[in-house]
Amino acid sequence: MADPTSTPVEPAAVAAPSPAPSPTPTVVSTPAPTATPEPTATPAAAPTPEPQSWYQDDWRERLANGDQKKLRVLNRYKDPNAWSEAGFNLRFARESGEFLTKLPDEPSTEEVTTYRKENGIPADPNGYWGSMKFDNGLVIGDEDKPMVNEFMQMAHAEHWTPKQVKTAVAAHYKFQEQAQIAMAERDEQDRQTAEDTLRTNMSPADYRANKASLERFVGRFPEKLQPLILNARLGNNQALFNNLDFVNWAAQLEREMNPAHTVVGASGNAMAAIEDELKQIADFRTKDRAAYFADEKMQARERELLSAQERQRARAA
């Protein structure tokens, strides 16, 4: 058993705790910028294959077909396309007249001969007739040939080509045909206007009498002259018998020259026709005076016949 009076045991010394070391500060480094990636190189395009030629290497020999002269010309061109282009350019230049000989202001006989030969111009104006064949069937009549010959002489003096002469002749007849069509249309319009005016201003009987007077008027001319009178035209190209002033004047003149016809028509013997009709009226009056005096139309007709008979006798006196 332990002695309570024993000296107490000193507790063991406790070492002072060492101070904790200061924490080492964390160094935050700035991130380096992200490097731009190197661009990916575009792969080189595959070379375009040479187009297949539509011609073969021996195209010159094929075209020349054994002709060495042609082959020497073809050897100047690298391919058929160049050869074709040169040919078209030559043709276009020829068609444009680029290669034609130009005549000087005062050409010599030799220069004129050369120029005409190069341009297909005949040596004589009559040579143009060989080109006077038209697709529309036009045929130059004998009555027009002197006029066309005169034109050809003028054209030849000016060194016209056959094509130019043919074009001018065709244009002349075309314009002539158009003028004839226009004239026919105007004639019909004028004729209809004159007829409508006369019918409006006259009774049917007077219109027929006026028309008959015109026919007798034309009949007074010699037979050979009658077509000339009927087809005559005024200064403004209006048909003579479509002019109202002339028509009325001619009809009135005929009535004055032969009044009997105005009441009995185009009878061969107008006076005899008047006398016959007057006799018929007189006979009717003798048989039935009452009916005669009741018929006003018959009395008016009798007066008309007597008046025409009197005018005809006065004219014959």
| % of the chain at pLDDT higher than 70 | 77
| % of the chain at pLDDT higher than 90 | 45
Using the predicted structure, report yes or no on whether residue 9 has a pLDDT greater than 60. no
Split at pLDDT 50, 70, 90, the class of 273 is: confident
SS3 content of the chain, % helix, strand, coil (to 5): 60, 0, 40
Amino acid at 222: P
Same domain, yes or no: 208 and 183: no
Which segment of 42-51, 52-61, 179-188 scores lowest on mean pLDDT? 42-51
**Within the chain, how many helices (H) and strands (E) appear?**
13, 0
Looking from the CA of 86 toward its CB, the CA atoms found within 13 Å total 10
Q: Is residue 317 part of a domain?
A: yes
Split at pLDDT 50, 70, 90, the class of 215 is: confident
Q: Find out whether 122 and 128 touch, Cβ atoms under 8 Å.
A: yes
Q: Is the dihedral of CA 49, 53, 58, 61 positive or negative?
A: negative
Split at pLDDT 50, 70, 90, the class of 39 is: low
Same domain, yes or no: 81 and 132: no
Amino acid at 92: F
Rounded-to-integer distance, Cα 243 and Cα 251, Å:
12
DSSP β-bridge partners for residue 191: none
DSSP β-bridge partners for residue 239: 233
The predicted pLDDT at position 90 comes to 81
Rounded-to-integer distance, Cα 156 and Cα 73, Å:
39
Split at pLDDT 50, 70, 90, the class of 202 is: confident
Rounded-to-integer distance, Cα 294 and Cα 301, Å:
13
- The residues, any chain, with a CB within 8 Å of residue 69's CB and separated by 6 or more, are none
Same domain, yes or no: 242 and 265: no
Same domain, yes or no: 209 and 194: no
Mean pLDDT over 105-121 rounds to 90
Q: Is residue 265 part of a domain?
A: yes
> Tens digit of pLDDT for each residue in 232-242?
999 999 999 99
Q: Find out whether 253 and 306 touch, Cβ atoms under 8 Å.
A: no
Q: Is residue 16 part of a domain?
A: no
Same domain, yes or no: 215 and 193: no
Q: Is residue 22 part of a domain?
A: no
Q: Is residue 211 part of a domain?
A: yes
Other CB atoms within a 10 A radius of the CB of residue 220 amount to 13
Mean pLDDT over 23-52 rounds to 59
Rounded-to-integer distance, Cα 12 and Cα 19, Å:
21
Domain total in the chain: 4
Mean pLDDT over 83-106 rounds to 79
- The residues, any chain, with a CB within 8 Å of residue 258's CB and separated by 6 or more, are 216, 270, 312
Q: Is residue 50 part of a domain?
A: no
The C-alpha angle 244, 218, 253, rounded to 5 degrees, equals 60
Using the predicted structure, report yes or no on whether residue 134 has a pLDDT greater than 80. yes
Residue 181 lies in domain: 126-201
The predicted pLDDT at position 267 comes to 52
Q: Is residue 247 part of a domain?
A: yes
Q: Which residue has the tokens 């500060």?
A: 25
Q: Is 128 exposed, middle or buried (0-12, 13-18, 19+ CB in 10 A)?
A: buried
The predicted pLDDT at position 178 comes to 95
The reported pTM is 0.50
> Tens digit of pLDDT for each residue in 139-193?
999 999 999 999 999 999 999 999 999 999 999 999 999 999 999 999 999 999 9
Split at pLDDT 50, 70, 90, the class of 216 is: confident
The predicted pLDDT at position 306 comes to 86
Q: Is residue 108 part of a domain?
A: no
Other CB atoms within a 10 A radius of the CB of residue 197 amount to 13
- Residues across the chain: 317
